[in-house]
């Protein structure tokens, strides 16, 4: 099974040293736990309904329409609306691909 007089080759030592160096370097890049995260945007039921009807009408609205939607909903930034529409497009794409796979 195991031999007592096994001699390590220089390559074995290098691999162990490399693994040790990698584990030490990975430990340095762990983000701090006290980092403040961005709060999630929660839309009201009316805002969700408005976004869904707008998505059914046009899933790629222009910047002017996004600003109008933001004003109607009461948001100052259009980024949350862009994310919502992107998620809707992705969900529709996944739904269609799963429907095709079932056939």
The pLDDT of residue 87 is above 70? yes
- Closest listed residue to residue 55, CA positions, set 29, 17, 81: 81
User: Token pair 């990975």 is at which residue?
Assistant: 26
Q: Which fold has domain 45-102?
A: Arc Repressor Mutant, subunit A (1.10.10)
Six token digits for residue 30: 């762990």
Question: pLDDT for 17-75, tens place per residue?
Answer: 544 544 555 455 555 677 777 778 888 999 999 999 998 999 899 999 999 999 999 88
Measured CA angle at 77 (ends 95, 72), to 5 deg? 80
User: Token pair 């736990």 is at which residue?
Assistant: 33
Domain boundaries in the chain? 45-102
> What is d(CA 59, CA 85) in angstroms, rounded to the nearest whole number?
7
Phi, psi for residue 40 in degrees, rounded to 5: -70, 145
- Closest listed residue to residue 53, CA positions, set 69, 39, 64: 69
Length of the chain: 103
pTM, 2 dp = 0.55
């Amino acid at each position: 099974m195991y031999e007592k007089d096994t001699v390590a080759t220089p390559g074995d030592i290098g691999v162990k040293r490399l693994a040790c160096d990698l584990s030490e370097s990975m430990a340095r890049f762990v983000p701090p736990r006290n980092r403040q995260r961005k709060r999630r945007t929660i839309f009201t039921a009316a805002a969700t309904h408005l976004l869904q009807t707008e998505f059914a009408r046009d899933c790629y609205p222009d910047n002017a329409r996004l600003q109008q939607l933001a004003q109607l909903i009461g948001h100052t930034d259009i980024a949350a609306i862009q994310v919502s529409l992107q998620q809707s497009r992705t969900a529709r794409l996944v739904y269609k691909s799963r429907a095709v796979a079932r056939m």
